[in-house]
Amino acid sequence: MRQRRKEGQQLTSLTVMNPFTGSCPRETLERVLASLGCSPTSAEVAAYLDKHDTLQHLRGEFLVPKIAELPPSDLSLVDGTKECIYMVGNSLGLQPKRTKKYLEEELEKWAKTGVHGHIEGSRPWAWAENNLEELMANVVGAKPEEVAIMNGLTVNLHLLMLSFYKPTAARHKILLEDKAFPSDHYAVDSQIRLRGFDPEQSMLLLAPRPGEDTLRTEDILEVIEKEGDSIAVVMLSGVQYYTGQLFNMAVITEAGQRKGCYVGFDCAHAAGNAELKLHDWGVDFACWCSYKYLNSGAGGLGAAFVHEKHKHTIKPAVGAAARSEWFQAVQPAHPAGLSTAGQFRGV
Ligand SMILES: Cc1ncc(COP(=O)(O)O)c(C=O)c1O
C-alpha cells in the first residue's frame, strides 16, 4: 500500500515535470520506469504512456479491424467485438477513415468528367503531386523540390542507382546490410551486374557481430574507413525492416562522403516512423514507400529524394520534376478546359 502511494506521488511529479520533452524515446522510457519503479512490461507503464500520449486522438482517424474480422482469431479466447492491437503498420498501415470519402470523390469525378478530371475539380490529377510534395518533404526532412512521388520503392531504388552508381575499376563496391530487405539485395545485385561487375566482388555486406542482432555504428564506420576508397555507394536502411534498428544516418552519411562515397538510404521503415532530416544530414539519395507508416494503402506510390546539391551534376533517370514540367508544357492555354482529349495522349 505504501509502495502504491509512493508510485502515485511519483506519477504526479512526473506529470508536472513532463518526462516527454527534450529526450529520445529510450531516455523517456527509462525516466518513466525509474520514476514509477515498474518493469517496462507492467500495465502501469503502458497506462501512464497512453495517458500522456499527445497524439492519441489520431488513433480515431483510422479504421482498426475488429478481432472477429481477422482470420486467425480464436473467439473462444478473445472478445471478437473489440478492436485488435495493430502492430503491423510496418507491413501495411491502417486505413485512414477519410480515404474512402476522397476515393469516392475522385471516382465520381472520373465517372462524370472522364479525361477532364486531369485538370478539373479541387484536386486535378495532372498536377496532383504538386500538393503532396511539400507534405511528403516534411515527413522526411527535405525540401519539396528534392522529393518526387512516383513509382514503387524498388523501381525508385533502381532509378537512383542508375544515377548514383557509376563504378570504376578502383571504386566499384556497394555497401549494404547482410540482411537488407530481399528486393533491395536483388536490386543492388542487378545494378552491379548491369555495370559489368561481379556481385561477389562488388557487394560488401555488413553483418552484426556473432551473437548480436543489430549493427553497431562503430562497426559500420570502421568498414567505411577501411574499405571506403573502393566503395562507390553506401546503401543502408533508415530503420532495419527486421530488427527495427534505427541507423545513425547523419554519422554514416558524413563518414561515407568523407571517403568519397555516395550515401543513400532505403527509408521504407523510417518514413513516418522516425524523425528524418535527409536534407540537413546531406544524404545523397533516398527512397521509400507510402503504404506502411504513411497509410496510403497497398499499391500506394513510392517516393524518392535527391539532395539539391546534385541539381547540376546528377541527372535523375526520371523524376517527378520532369513529369511536372512536361505537364506544365501541355497545360491548355485556356484554363477553362481541354479542347480535345487528344491533348493528354501519353499521360
Ligand atoms: C525495407 C524495404 N525495402 C524495400 C521494400 C520493397 O518495397 P516495394 O515492394 O514497394 O518496392 C520493402 C517492402 O516491404 C521494405 O520493407
Q: Is 177 in the pocket of ligand 1 (CB under 6 A)?
A: no
Q: Is 287 in the pocket of ligand 1 (CB under 6 A)?
A: no
Using the predicted structure, report yes or no on whether residue 4 has a pLDDT greater than 70: no
Using the predicted structure, report yes or no on whether residue 211 has a pLDDT greater than 50: yes
Cα angle for residues 333, 132, 121 (degrees, 5° grid):
45
Helix (H, G, I), strand (E, B) or coil at 189: helix
- Higher-pLDDT residue of 274 and 25 is 274
Q: Is 153 in the pocket of ligand 1 (CB under 6 A)?
A: yes
Q: Is 268 in the pocket of ligand 1 (CB under 6 A)?
A: yes
Which residue's alpha carbon is nearest to atom 7 within ligand 1?
153
Q: Is 241 in the pocket of ligand 1 (CB under 6 A)?
A: yes
Structure confidence by residue, pLDDT tens digits, 65-90: 999 999 878 899 999 999 999 999 99
pLDDT value of residue 19:
66
pLDDT value of residue 341:
34
CA of 204 to the centre of ligand 1 (A): 20
The CA distance from 318 to 60, in Å, is: 38
Structure confidence by residue, pLDDT tens digits, 30-68: 889 988 999 989 999 999 998 988 889 999 999 999 999
Structure confidence by residue, pLDDT tens digits, 162-200: 999 999 999 999 999 999 999 999 999 999 999 999 999
Q: Is 266 in the pocket of ligand 1 (CB under 6 A)?
A: yes
pLDDT value of residue 229:
98
CA of 16 to the centre of ligand 1 (A): 42
CB count in 10 Å sphere of residue 26: 8
**Spatial contact of 58 and 71, defined as CB atoms under 8 Å apart:** no
pLDDT value of residue 300:
96
CA of 154 to the centre of ligand 1 (A): 7
Using the predicted structure, report yes or no on whether residue 313 has a pLDDT greater than 80: yes
CB count in 10 Å sphere of residue 343: 15
Beta-bridge partners for 3: none
Cell of 95: 486505413
Q: Is 120 in the pocket of ligand 1 (CB under 6 A)?
A: no
Which of 151, 160, 241 for mutating ligand 1's site (highest number of atoms within 8 Å of CB)?
Answer: 241
Cell of 310: 546534385
Of 323, 304, 307, 272, nearest to 130 (Cα)? 323
Q: Is 289 in the pocket of ligand 1 (CB under 6 A)?
A: yes
- Cell numbers 485512414 correspond to what residue? 96
**For the CA of 269, the nearest atom of ligand 1:** 1
